[in-house]
Chain A
Amino acid sequence: MFPGFFLALRKAEIPVSLREYLTLIEALDAGIAEHGVERFYYLARSALVKDERNLDKFDRVFAETFRGFEEPPQGFEEMEARIPEEWLRKLAERVLTEEEKRLVASLGGFDKLMETLRERLRSQKGRHQGGSKMIGTAGTSPFGAYGYNPEGVRIGQEESRHRRAVKVWDRRDFRNLDDKIELGTRNLKLALRRLRRFAREGAAVEFDLPGTVGSTARRAGLLDVRMVPERHNAVKVLLLLDIGGSMDDHVTLCEALFSAARSEFKHFEHFYFHNCPYEAIWRDNRRRRDDVVATAELLRTYPPDWKLILVGDAAMGHSEIEFPGGSVEHWNEEPGAVWLARLVRQFPRAAWLNPTPEAHWEFTPSIGMISRLMDQRMYPLTLAGIDRATRDLNH
């Protein structure tokens, strides 16, 4: 009846199967959606979408199919409103190298930079691309995305092309790691399986055959039933993932690891950080600005028998590790090194997995620094590396 709609849903990567489509048609035949398009919409949604994360996609496809709806292009006015005020204030406090300071001075200092940006945001109407003055994409103006100007402030861009902008300015919604990817996770699962520690804990609910036989025999044949608790995988894993920036290159690998870990461990918690863990981490990338968890709380909440696995490329400026205020995203009171040391102290069984090939580590000084902070427990994010890491975590 609506093969076009069905195919459009499939194209939008909503996992609709033929069976669900037939269910919808069956329901229509049964007269569930007799009164108008709204009911039809509700019915189609209920029959075809099985995950609230796909509801938004479904709505868009539905609108497009049945109304010829088009998404309006996003304006720049909207973007201006989304720039966090805190960044404007704290930007000036950032520790800059001499070279950077000179570059900034070439445009009249930080305040001037901010002011000019505000003015241009205000004066600019509509989308702009190219050129050397207005804000847009692919220009040489210090403002905007995909530009080459080292003193630039990056706005509205999916990922940083050259990774040298002073600040990432728009609230980009980091992609949440999709844990659904099954392809290629099998090997990782098997590697992680080494971490399993079976233990009998909790209520005795399982019939203990050898125990019962032994006990019954000791009591001269009088039945004495013995029960034992079930075997559980008792390992507890805390996974901290670096996300965004230079980690974008490794997102597929991280997704695979995340997916494998999530299905492999019953006691599994994950959090995200950017470059280096500081006083706050977050659980959900879409809500990272307003739903952060204090790292201190993490330290309080999870006992030391949890195994800590950090995943990140550890590629950053040395100031991001060593100095207060070194973070590229916010003003941190205490340096990343302090927080990392606290984490390692609380969780003696810890490892850092690095997606960068091991052979390249020596070219990035920050990798050596992080590795020292982790007591040399940094391993490459490969099957062999995970194998080494799990052996170490089990010690």
Chain B
Amino acid sequence: MRFAGTATYIATEDLMVAVNAAIALERPLLIKGEPGTGKTVLAREVAAALGKPLIEWHIKSTTKAQQGLYEYDAVARLRDSQLGDPRVGDIANYIARGKLWDAFVAAAAPVLLIDEIDKADIEFPNDLLLELDRMEFHVYETREVVRARQRPIVFITSNNEKELPDAFLRRCFFHYIRFPDRETMERIVAVHFPDIRRSLVRDALTLFYEIRDVPGLKKKPTTSELLDWLRLLMAEDLPPDALRAKDTRAFIPPLHGALLKSEQDVQLFERLAFLARREGR
């Protein structure tokens, strides 16, 4: 059971080693990296490549660790008791399973994605330590123990908004996805647009990396934005030299709205282009 990238996902060697280590040793893999480097997509692609079901648990600021295990709906039970509902007798009727429970009792070991774990409260990862380590938990209301049939493959993504506790980190493998270099990026573009013009890719990538290098940008364009932009460029069917300018600095790329997402960035860009034009005169 080895992951080696898929037809639509280019995995670098170091990423593959980390994923395979996590799969072989059945430990969670913690993934960090710049936004738009494919952290979330990785879990989907691994699930697809290994032919396993994917269970996604997206974390919000209000998410509690307990919600991943189960929730006991006391209010519904109280209401039913007033209405004389016969289901009231069995407490299990009011226990709603969480994503971890689903993952533990799935027929085949699934891929479990815990997305953006840093969004939650600071105690959240600590509350899941035992559950992820032993892959079991105790249901207090029914006094049963839910134990994983097979240990799921766990991917955890983080955007570094909060520090994760050391005890949690010790139990994970870790991989930091770097922003793809040009060569990797060409391969990524190639899997997404197999029939794109090579010259267009070359010019677009040159421009793209130049934009990323502009100092002071609020938000650097990412892979997903590059792909959107390319899609637009292809749809517009621009002339071959539309992306080429004599003075690249004095040039605002066509359809830049797909790349620059804040008006300050667009302004900065226009100002730079204006200055360059004035100097060039």
Interface of A toward B, CB cutoff 8 Å: 15, 17, 19-20, 23, 26-27, 30-33, 38-39, 42-43, 45-47, 49-52, 55, 179-180, 203, 205, 207, 222-223, 225, 230, 263, 290-292
Partner of B17, one of A26, A42, A50, A205: A42
B252 interface contact, C-beta 8 A: no
Contact with A along B4-16 (1 / 0, CB 8 A): 0000000001100
Residues of A within 8 A of B169 (CB): 50-51
- Which residue on B lies nearest to A46, using beta carbons? B18
Interface centre among B29, B164, B169 (most CB of A within 10 A): B169
Q: Check B21–A43 contact: CB distance below 8 A.
A: yes
**Size bracket of the B interface:** 20 to 34
- Which residue on A lies nearest to B14, using beta carbons? A42
B70 interface contact, C-beta 8 A: no
Contact with A along B157-191 (1 / 0, CB 8 A): 00000011010011111111000000000000000
Q: Check A46–B13 contact: CB distance below 8 A.
A: no
Q: Check B62–A205 contact: CB distance below 8 A.
A: yes
Q: How far does the alpha carbon of A188 sit from the alpha carbon of B216 in the complex, in Å?
A: 35
Q: How far does the alpha carbon of A20 sit from the alpha carbon of B173 in the complex, in Å?
A: 9
**Those 4 A-B pairs whose CB atoms lie nearest each other, nearest first:** A50-B169, A42-B17, A46-B18, A290-B215
What's the nearest-Cβ distance from chain B to residue A22, in Å? 10
What's the nearest-Cβ distance from chain A to residue B64, in Å? 10
Q: Check A30–B25 contact: CB distance below 8 A.
A: yes
**What are 30 A-B contacts with C-beta separation under 8 Å?**
A15-B166, A17-B170, A19-B170, A20-B170, A23-B25, A23-B173, A26-B25, A27-B21, A27-B25, A32-B17, A32-B24, A33-B17, A38-B13, A39-B13, A42-B13, A43-B17, A43-B18, A45-B14, A46-B22, A47-B174, A49-B174, A51-B169, A51-B174, A52-B176, A203-B62, A223-B78, A223-B79, A223-B82, A225-B78, A290-B215
Q: How far does the alpha carbon of A106 sit from the alpha carbon of B122 in the complex, in Å?
A: 60
Partner of B175, one of A46, A222, A223: A46
Given known A-B contacts A38-B13, A290-B215, A50 and B18 have beta carbons under 8 A apart: no
Q: How far does the alpha carbon of A207 sit from the alpha carbon of B72 in the complex, in Å?
A: 13
Q: How far does the alpha carbon of A207 sit from the alpha carbon of B78 in the complex, in Å?
A: 13
